[in-house]
Amino acid sequence: MSGSRKSSAAFFAAAVFLLAGLQTASAHEALKAKAHGVDLTRLPVGDTRVSDKPKVGWIWACRPPLDAPPAVAKGPWFNPDGLTYDLTRKAVVQGEVTWPHRFVMRVEGDRRIFSSNDLPNHPTGEFPISPQDPAYQYDRNPSRISAQNMTVELPLNPTPSAEPTCAPGAVGILLTGVVLFNALDAVGLDAVAHESQDGCQGHPQRDGVYHYHSLTICHDDAVLPDGHSALVGYALDGFGIFGRLGEGGKPLSSADLDECHGHTHAIPWNGKTVTMYHYHGTWDFPYTVGCMRGPFDFADMITISGGPEARGEGLRPRDGLRPGGMRPGSPPGPGAAPPRAALPGTPPGTPLGPRPDRVQFAAAAAKLGVSEQQLMQALGPPPPDFEAAAKRLGVDVETLRRALVPPR
Ligand SMILES: [Zn+2]
Ligand SMILES: [Zn+2]
């Protein structure tokens, strides 16, 4: 009796293992099928490619580069050379979970407005990662995917800044309705090389915000008539993010692009052909945005970073940083933020009032006597930690909050 129970348990375990193996194999096949001939078995590990200024093939992140990479366990997909990894051997989080996706994009005046619950239009893996999942031995991400309520407004016709700025932790939103984080994980290492993501390259952070650190292969890999990839999303500065193929269908690597991971040529834009800047995804580090080519709004960054701010909790109107979806003119004082349950009900297409006051990041930095980069670095990876930032800058929290409150 106990023998047969033991053998049926062993059989069950073997079946689960086999099934997991098949799922992983098919996820790896799907990756290879979209590689456009790029060698995914020897991609550079980006851990040491974090810069404090713009640099091709590196990321200029709004966080201090690490003095020394923290010691983290490395999965067997890291090559013995210590410099590269094999994406086609990396653990893939199992599962086929579907979600009530809600993503609305519309144009109003000179703004492109997105509202998203951040739940993708494609299946995800099962999170938290199950102990039965082969990925569990490398990454025990305990987070659960949860619906967000994000509204961001980007310029319809973005313009580059005189000088680029560092890339915040969250850099944009893809057409799958899911937010795009930069190439780094919470400790500042190459997230694509180290973290376990699902077959669509997404996973949740600690507040349940599902996100990518690179382009997803689960979005239609469409190309324009000349072979250049189609648009796949938008960066926070309003510039488009396109797929991994450049003009004539040439697969791009970071070396083909500028420091911010983009270039300028004619692209379809708002129904016309326009010569303008745009970002590209690549298979190699930093995968998407390396720095921000145009000005972006601090409030939008907070919104797509997740955390209580994205859900309208915890950010009181006195903070001045109104999360997306809140209307200007909300009565001040505690309790003015609508309860969370009320937020997802905002029907798509509800006209927004005038755009909330912008957070003048440069003005805030000047007020505090620090550079924009110092302020951004102090705020750290998303969601920004005001207490820690104040400490790092040597100011009290109220001073920091007041500096970030837009003028009225
Ligand atoms: Zn992540
Ligand atoms: Zn291009």
Residues 140-162 have pLDDT tens digits of 999 999 999 999 999 999 999 99
- Give distance in angstroms: CA of 353 to centre of ligand 1: 33
CA 95 to chain centre: 21
Q: In angstroms, what is the span from residue 294 Cα to ligand 2's centroid?
A: 17
Per the DSSP assignment, residues forming a β-bridge with 152 are 114
How far apart, in Å, do the first and last CA atoms of the chain sit? 77
**Ligand 2: centre distance to CA 263 (Å):** 6
89 alpha carbon to ligand 2 midpoint, in Å? 29
Gap from CA of 185 to ligand 1 centroid (Å): 6
From the CA of 191, which ligand is nearest?
1
Question: Rounded to the nearest whole angstrom, what is the distance from the C-alpha of residue 53 to the centroid of ligand 1?
Answer: 23
Domain ranges of the chain: 1-359
Percentage of residues in the chain having pLDDT higher than 90: 61
Q: Sorting pLDDT into bands at 50, 70 and 90, what band is 367?
A: confident
Q: What spacing in Å lies between the alpha carbon of 269 and ligand 2's midpoint?
A: 12
361 membership: H or E segment, kind and range: helix 361-368
Give CA 24 to chain center in angstroms.
23
Among the listed residues 146, 188, 159, 191, the one whose alpha carbon sits nearest the alpha carbon of residue 343: 146
Which has the closest alpha carbon to 93: 20, 176, 185, 190? 20
Closest ligand, as measured to the CA of 93: 1
Ligand nearest to the CA of 211: 1
Element (H, E) at 241: strand 240-242
pLDDT value at residue 343? 32
**pLDDT confidence of residue 106:** 96
Report phi then psi at 92, rounded to 5.
Answer: -120, 130
Per DSSP, the three-state class of 400 is helix
173 CB-near residues (< 8 Å, 6+ apart): 114, 116, 150, 152, 179, 180, 233, 234, 304
Residue 55 CA, ligand 1 centroid: distance in Å = 23
Could you give the CA distance from residue 288 to residue 244 in angstroms, rounded to a whole number?
Answer: 10
In angstroms, the Cα distances linking 16 to 89, 94, 133, 362 are 19, 11, 9, 54
Judged by phi (left if over 0) then psi (alpha if -120 to 50, else beta), residue 214 lies in: beta
Mean pLDDT, to the nearest integer, of 337-361? Answer: 39
> Nearest ligand to the C-alpha of residue 203?
1
Cα separation of 375 and 383, whole Å?
14
Distance of CA 138 from the midpoint of ligand 2 (Å): 36
Ligand lying closest to the C-alpha of residue 210: 1
Higher pLDDT, 172 or 397: 172
Give the Å distance between the CA of 252 and the centre of ligand 2. 9
User: Position 388: which residue type?
Assistant: A
**pLDDT the model gives residue 405:** 60
Ligand 1 centroid–CA 96 distance in Å is 19
Asked if omega into 44 is within 30° of 0 (cis), the reply is: no
CA 190 – CA 44 distance, rounded (Å): 10
What is the average per-residue pLDDT within 342-364?
A: 46
Ligand 2 centroid to residue 264 C-alpha, Å: 7
Confidence of residue 19 (pLDDT cuts 50, 70, 90): low
Give which of 202, 64, 58, 72 is closest to 129, Cα–Cα. 202
pTM beyond 0.85, yes or no:
no
Judging by beta carbons within 10 Å of its beta carbon (0-12, 13-18, 19+), is residue 353 exposed, middle or buried? exposed
Cis amide prior to 383 (ω within 30 degrees)? yes
Q: Are 190 and 47 in contact, with CB atoms under 8 Å apart? A: yes
- Ligand closest to 266 (CA) is 2
Confidence of residue 273 (pLDDT cuts 50, 70, 90): very high
Q: Would you give the DSSP letter of residue 360? A: -
Counting ligands in written order, which one lies closest to the CA of residue 209?
1
The residue with greater pLDDT, 193 or 315, is: 193
Find out whether the peptide bond into 70 is cis, omega within 30 degrees of 0.
no
